[in-house]
Amino acid sequence: MPELPHPRGPLSAAVLARLRDGSAPSVAVEDADPYGDDLQLALYCCYELHYRGFTGVPDEREWDVPLLALRGAMEQRFLAQLRADTTPDDDVATALDELLVEPAEARGVSHHLRDEGTVEQLREYVCHRSLYHLKEADPQAFVIPRLAGAAKAGLVTVEHDEYGAGRPERMHSELFAQLMEALDLDPTYGRYLDQAAATTLAEVNLMSLCGLHRALRGALVGQFATVELTSSPGSDRLVRGMRRLGLPEAAVAFYAEHVEADAVHEQLVRRQVIAPLLVAEPALAADVVFGIRASTFLGDRFGEWLLSCWSAGRSSLREPAAQRGAG
């Protein structure tokens, strides 16, 4: 289990105190920045109790009533801002098609790392991504019991691949750990939580939020579709960038796997998850679109953060990335 991180403000301090010693989490949420370090770290710590927990924190804290009440208030603040920043719609087909169209002038993080990024920038990117990829597909697994019939079967088919199709050494989380080792980074679960930016935490928190609320099952499917439909081109660019930098195949394997796997998953998610889901529950169309647009919005913010830091000649991490075994 990971160590507890350091607080970044009153909300995260209150959550961490509750986790450590059961202190009453009396703190106001109304004025917190919904995308800020403090609220996003506090939410992340609450959600992590549903995954692997933290060293020294009793398992019973997962269902601690005062902590759940605080989490609920933070979720509402985060959700309200996401809804304000995304356009509501129920045209799922158009929203999905938009994901497949990349403007010719697009210059995202994967473009930068393909063409001119340094090994140190790639290491930073991997540190950020480790908060999700070391538990890849776990947030989406929460939605399985919330679906039925063909949509459930389709989603489990995709998840089966994410978990290595029965081969633990092929689990995507394991391949990512190997990538981290090849880059001389520490692959310990949660190792880089203190270094990760708020934009990183927000992307992972969206997955956990939607996965843990049955009312947001449509949004989680939309988020999952966004990842699967957009992953292959970006993964291909990262593979090219790593080979340009002369990195070993152990580093390249994770993204090389996603070039092919996610091209297949794209069709599975569209035809075997979303299509039957909307036949069974057409009222979820607007939620699916919300999941797509919220995921895209947060992904764009994350990319903008990294590129703005790198263009200014500074690190995108809150502190330098430790090498494997350091710290």
d(CA 120, CA 248): 15
52 and 109 housed in the same domain: no
| Dihedral sign, Cα of residue 31, residue 34, residue 37, residue 42 | positive
Domain enclosing residue 131, as ranges: 89-311
127 and 149 housed in the same domain: yes
Q: In the block, which residue shows the tokens 């001119």? A: 116
Within a domain: residue 317?
A: no
Q: In the block, which residue shows the tokens 């990512």? A: 176
Split into its structural domains, the chain has a count of: 2
CATH number at residue 194: 1.20.910.10
d(CA 45, CA 265): 30
pLDDT over 90 percentage in the chain = 84
pLDDT band at 327 (very low <50, low <70, confident <90, very high): very low
Residues paired with 57 in a beta bridge: none
160 and 43 housed in the same domain: no
Residues 242-285 have pLDDT tens digits of: 999 999 998 999 999 888 765 677 788 999 999 999 999 999 99
48 and 99 housed in the same domain: no
52 and 185 housed in the same domain: no
Dmax (CA) for the chain in angstroms is: 53
CB atoms within 10 A of CB 184: 14
Within a domain: residue 326?
A: no
Asked if residue 232 has pLDDT above 70, the reply is yes
Which of 43, 67, 84 is the last residue in one of the domains? 84
CB atoms within 10 A of CB 4: 19
Within a domain: residue 20?
A: yes
